[in-house]
């Protein structure tokens, strides 16, 4: 199962010597080997670096590589500095220089869920998400709506773009007025004081001894409890797991609200996926649009089912 871009990341040896030397100094000992972590949606190096005295998981980006990838490493440094130690991986070192940036983390031995998806893995993830949703965001953490608007409010853009509108299933196209109404409630649905990860999917989770470790924190924000769940489940269904509504029931056992309570978020994420899958490819991130397209299919099916289960209002007239 590949849940990230199906490509190779930069190699350890392609990093500037100054960055590699600083990483090795932080770990201690001399370089022995590295095990790169391919896939994902960053053009930075990522992998477990082993030395004669220790090992660590390293993310690193040269100053002249992909600008967004460099920014995400720096953002994750900032976020991990604010997170409670129980939520994120332990930081060994942060490295900033004219040559680039590197984040050195504890190496967690584990496996990504989803090969295949199991009820035990879903329960482990649900338990970790419950802890996340019960944890108050630290002071100074940016609010979710400051990042997710306008990215997750794309129904008006879709309605104004004939290829995107025509590509919707009839069950959504006929209820576009209702989707536009739901969009008005998107910001209130996001508001809260819990920590929101904002990038949960299988390749950002490691299962170890029955525990789900949540990784990759550059996008974390302050928001409503369980806001991550509507964005996680389409990726689970898209890659061989249970349908979104079936998986949701497992998460409800751990305190998640009914899906109707986050319908505006489910709708918003669906609009994000459908709008972005049609955008031009990002050369440094091949596979991103296909990944979004693959998730959009279960997201649209799920949203259609939820809307069909709710009565139309008088204003929910189909488009002519």
Mean pLDDT of the chain: 93
Identify the pLDDT of residue 212. Answer: 98
Domain total in the chain: 2
pLDDT of residue 37: 87
Are 81 and 125 members of one domain?
Answer: no
Flag whether pLDDT at 320 surpasses 90: no
Sequence-ordered list of residues with C-beta below 8 angstroms from that of 27, at least 6 positions apart, any chain: 49, 51, 53, 54, 55, 56, 92, 104
The CATH number covering residue 73 comes to 3.30.200
What is the percent of the chain with per-residue pLDDT over 90, rounded to a whole number?
Answer: 87
- Asked whether residue 319 is assigned to any structural domain, the reply reads no
Instruction: Convert the pLDDT of each residue in 217-264 to its tens digit.
Output: 999 999 999 999 999 999 999 999 999 999 999 999 999 999 999 999
Do residues 61 and 131 both lie within one domain? no
One-character DSSP codes across 145-158: HHHHTTTT--HHHH
Peptide bond preceding 54 in cis form (omega within 30 of 0): no
| pLDDT tier at 43, thresholds 50, 70, 90 | confident
End-to-end CA distance of the chain: 42
221-223/45-51 β-pairing: unpaired
State the pLDDT at residue 9: 81
* pLDDT at residue 284 in the model: 82
Residue 314 within a domain: no
Q: How far is CA 97 from CA 19, 62, 91, 273, 318, in A?
A: 8, 9, 18, 36, 57
62 inside domain:
yes
Alpha helical stretches, state H, the chain = 17-27, 67-80, 119-133, 145-148, 155-159, 162-167, 170-173, 176-184, 186-190, 229-238, 244-252, 263-276, 288-308
Question: What count of Cα atoms within 13 Å lies in the side-chain half-sphere of residue 86?
Answer: 10
Indicate if 150 and 39 belong to the same structural domain. no
- 148 and 289 assigned to the same domain: yes
Q: Which domain holds residue 82?
A: 12-105
| Three-state secondary-structure class, residue 258 | coil
pLDDT in tens, 137-153: 999 999 999 999 999 99
Q: Is residue 5 in some structural domain?
A: no
Q: Which of 58, 80, 105 is the last residue of a domain?
A: 105
Residue 315 included in any domain: no
Q: Phi and psi at residue 276, in whole multiples of 5°?
A: -75, -30
């Amino acid at each position: 199962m590949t849940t990230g871009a199906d490509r190779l990341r930069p190699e350890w040896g392609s990093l500037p010597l100054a960055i590699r030397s600083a990483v090795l100094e932080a770990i201690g000992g001399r370089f022995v080997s590295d095990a790169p972590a391919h896939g994902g949606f960053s053009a930075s190096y990522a992998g477990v670096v082993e030395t004669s005295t220790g090992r660590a998981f390293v993310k690193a980006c040269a100053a002249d590589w992909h600008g967004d990838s460099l920014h995400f490493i720096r953002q994750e440094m900032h976020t991990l500095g604010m997170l409670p130690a129980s939520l994120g991986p332990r930081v060994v070192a942060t490295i900033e220089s004219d040559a680039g940036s590197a984040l050195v983390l504890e190496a967690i031995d584990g496996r990504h869920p989803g090969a295949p998806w199991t009820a035990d893995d879903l329960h482990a993830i649900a338990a970790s998400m419950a802890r996340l949703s019960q944890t108050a965001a630290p002071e100074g953490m940016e609010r979710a709506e400051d990042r997710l608007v306008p990215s997750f409010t794309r129904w008006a853009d879709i309605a104004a773009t004939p290829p995107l509108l025509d590509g919707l299933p009839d069950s959504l196209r006929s209820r576009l007025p209702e989707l536009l109404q739901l969009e008005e409630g998107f910001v209130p649905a996001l508001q809260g004081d819990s920590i929101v990860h904002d990038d949960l999917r299988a390749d950002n989770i490691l299962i170890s001894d029955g525990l789900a470790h949540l990784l990759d924190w550059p996008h974390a924000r302050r928001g409503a409890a369980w806001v991550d769940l509507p964005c996680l489940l389409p990726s689970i269904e898209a890659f061989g797991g249970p349908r979104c509504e079936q998986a949701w029931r497992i998460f409800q056992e751990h305190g998640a609200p009914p899906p109707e309570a986050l319908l505006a978020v489910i709708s918003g994420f669906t609009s994000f996926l459908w709008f972005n899958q049609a955008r031009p490819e990002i050369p440094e991130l091949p596979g991103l649009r296909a990944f979004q397209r693959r998730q959009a299919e279960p997201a649209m099916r799920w949203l259609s089912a939820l809307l069909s289960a709710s009565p139309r209002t008088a204003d929910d007239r189909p488009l002519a």
